[in-house]
Amino acid sequence: MSPTSPIPVLRGSGGAVLRAEGDALVLTRGDTETWIPFRAVRRVRAEGGTAAVELTAPTGAEPAVHRVDGVSGAAVAVFADMVNAALPARGGEEAGEEAADGAALVGVRPAAGPPPESPAARKTRVFRIWLGSVVLLGVVLTAAVWLVAPASVALPLLVVVPFGAALTTAGHLGLKVVHREWYLPRKGITVEAVRRDGTTDRFGATGNYVYTDLHGQSRVMYAQRRAEAIRIAYHPRNPGTAAVCQTLPRLIGGAVAFAAVLLAGLAVDGAAAGLVFYAFRGEYG
């Protein structure tokens, strides 16, 4: 059987998961996995919403059974039919030979942890947390100021707080990008990156570029460029961290622009803090 088995995955109560993997069934409960080779399985019984994996056992012995409850009856029926059809033939048993003890063939191992979070997923998660925190802060400050000051003083905080946070964050992140674009060409490894076909915008101004690191692994980075090939630099210990090689005037211009955005954001944040401070001092009462 291939790793991409057509046998459905059963998800039962208590987080139990029963799936086919190669020539075995894998039952996951909590932080452990029970590995049941097909040669240890006598049959899978569909008992309504329960899948019962009955193991082989010597004559006269009670066969061990692994159960997964709380599953769709239709899914259990399909799972049982497909697994039973995939089990190896046991001609020896039909000839009177004693069946092997399937329980002795079963192994238990720690469950594999969740796959590592991709950089894109991590950035999305961090952005959602940041956005939720800013909105919550704006709402809490607005409600608190409204208790001690007129609505005309409190309501602007719903706009001022997120606006100031957005400016501050944009300036900070922009300066980090500029620093990376200055640092990597001087301390990193410079290579050529080629535009990947079919990934440009309609104006051809942005797109994904592919480069190969020293280990021979192809990597992709996004760049606002029109050229078919560009010079990029990546970190020697972290080849996935890369930046486009910029001219000195462009680096200076970017640093000045983002510093201005950061200062503007800090000014707006300061104004919001001052408004809250004076509101609680009763200056607007």
Share above pLDDT 70 across residues of the chain, in percent, rounded to a whole number: 88
pLDDT at residue 53 is higher than 60: yes
Average pLDDT over residues 123-134: 90
Q: Is the pTM of this model over 0.85?
A: no
pLDDT at residue 240 is higher than 60: yes
Alpha carbon distances (Å) from 96 to 59, 93, 125? 10, 5, 60
Average pLDDT over residues 141-167: 93
Spatial strand order of the sheet with 50-55 comes to 41-47, 50-55, 65-68
pLDDT for res 51: 94
Residue 13's SS3 state is helix
Side-chain-side CA neighbours of residue 165 (13 Å): 17
Share above pLDDT 90 across residues of the chain, in percent, rounded to a whole number: 53
Average pLDDT over residues 44-58: 92
Q: Which residue in 189, 211, 207, 187 sits closest to 198, CA to CA?
A: 207
pLDDT at residue 276 is higher than 50: yes
Average pLDDT of the chain to the nearest whole number: 86
pLDDT for res 244: 93
pLDDT at residue 132 is higher than 90: yes
- Tell me the CA end-to-end span of the chain in Å, nearest whole number: 76
- pLDDT (tens digit per residue) in 16-43: 899 998 889 999 988 888 999 999 999 9
| Token pair listed for 21 | 């993997």
Residue 157's SS3 state is helix
Is 199 in contact with 207 (CB distance < 8 Å)? yes
Q: Which residue in 166, 167, 219, 165 sits closest to 192, CA to CA?
A: 219
Is 271 in contact with 160 (CB distance < 8 Å)? yes
